[in-house]
A and B are shown apart, each in its own frame.
Chain A
Amino acid sequence: KAGVTQTPRYLIKTRGQQVTLSCSPISGHRSVSWYQQTPGQGLQFLFEYFSETQRNKGNFPGRFSGRQFSNSRSEMNVSTLELGDSALYLCASSSTGQGKHEQYFGPGTRLTVT
């Protein structure tokens, strides 16, 4: 089956702009989570969605938001971009059942803020 897809793969924005990133999960997966990866802070959890509801949120300012659609696709939005928002943004889709948890990450969106 197709893997997790993220669009766009690369993005360059200027400070103050906003950006929307998209994630399409593996078919049948209802949970999507987002992460920020930077050389300085490493991997950090942003938020998690399940059946269109935000289930969990990391320690990021309100400029970071997200949503999930009825087809499980998810978007995240960052408003008023800052230089420090430059990072690789990863999404993962997951499914849990019969004592097993499977999780697959997409390739990420590389965001550069200038």
Chain B
Amino acid sequence: GENVEQHPSTLSVQEGDSAVIKCTYSDSASNYFPWYKQELGKGPQLIIDIRSNVGEKKDQRIAVTLNKTAKHFSLHITETQPEDSAVYFCAAREWSSSASKIIFGSGTRLSIRP
């Protein structure tokens, strides 16, 4: 079945450094790739998304890159701050199909060291 693999499961970086989280997907029909941030005790928050007709998208300190040929996409956070500490999830789905299901990665716990 469809699968999304996410690495690493935990990541600790020094404040001010960059963090990179990587995901691979198996369903070649997937064309929508959102990223979510979940803080303790809260629901996930959609922080950025990318569609397969675009290779890269940026929003201030966060960016997502997509390599459709290799079926992998990555989240990049630059100039990390303490408030970036959270669990991050990637996901993939076929946007155009009403019958498609969104598949989530297993999550990355990001810790920012002061």
Q: Chain A residues in contact with chain B, CB under 8 A?
A: 4, 42-45, 55-59, 90, 92, 101-108
Pairwise interchain contact B98-A105, C-beta atoms closer than 8 A = no
Report the tally of A-B residue pairs with Cβ distances under 8 A.
Answer: 45
Pairwise interchain contact B43-A92, C-beta atoms closer than 8 A = yes
Is B71 located at the chain interface by the 8 A CB criterion?
no
* A56-B98, A56-B99 known; A43-B44 Cβ under 8 A: yes
Majority SS at the chain A contact face: strand
Pairwise interchain contact A103-B100, C-beta atoms closer than 8 A = no
Which residues of chain A have C-beta atoms less than 8 A from B63's C-beta? none
Which residues of chain A have C-beta atoms less than 8 A from B100's C-beta? 56
Pairwise interchain contact B104-A43, C-beta atoms closer than 8 A = yes
CB distance from A69 to the nearest CB of B (A): 20
CB distance from A37 to the nearest CB of B (A): 9
Interchain CB contact (< 8 A) of B101 among A56, A105, A106: A56
